[in-house]
Amino acid sequence: MLRTFEATVIAALCLSCLPAQSNDIPTLDVHPVCRGIASQSELEVGLQRTNFEQCLQSEQAVRDEVRSTFSTADKTHCVALAKTGGESSYTELLTCMEMARDVRKRHSDANSLSEQNIPSAPAGHRQPTSR
């Protein structure tokens, strides 16, 4: 009986150490962010409530977009940042992943230009492009 319990505890600990699957986006508590957005508006209380609910719906839509669009590496990096503290939002997570994707693309584009033996532009001038 004790051995079964020990094995169960060890198995649970090992499983909790495994990395999340690529499509696993954490459940963020976006209520504080949406409450802050709604309370900063100069709307009447009823309209603030509507604004709060629209914010929650928008965050859910962004969460669905984040789940399906980005690479595992971008998700892993940005989810770690989102969990570091403070008020998190899926919009912030999406922005992080878009920036990571765009930086990777720029690096890739720069590498392809250097492979074409195009000399670097002088300081203050635009980089020439291949035709």
By C-alpha distance, which of 128, 74, 120 is closest to 101?
Answer: 74
Contact 34, 56 (CB under 8 A): yes
Identify the pLDDT of residue 107.
85
Digit-by-digit pLDDT tens for the chain (131 residues) are 545 444 443 433 333 333 444 457 888 999 999 998 888 877 677 777 888 999 999 999 999 888 777 888 888 889 888 888 788 899 999 999 999 989 988 888 877 766 666 666 677 777 666 65
HSE, CB side, 13 Å, CA atoms: give it for residue 90: 20
DSSP state string for 84-126: TSS---HHHHHHHHHHHHHHHHHHHHHHHHHHTTPPPPPTTSP
Measured in degrees and rounded to the nearest 5, phi and psi for residue 11 equal -60, -40
Identify the pLDDT of residue 96.
92
Tokens of 64: 């669905």
User: Could you give the CA distance from residue 77 to residue 74 in angstroms, rounded to a whole number?
Assistant: 5
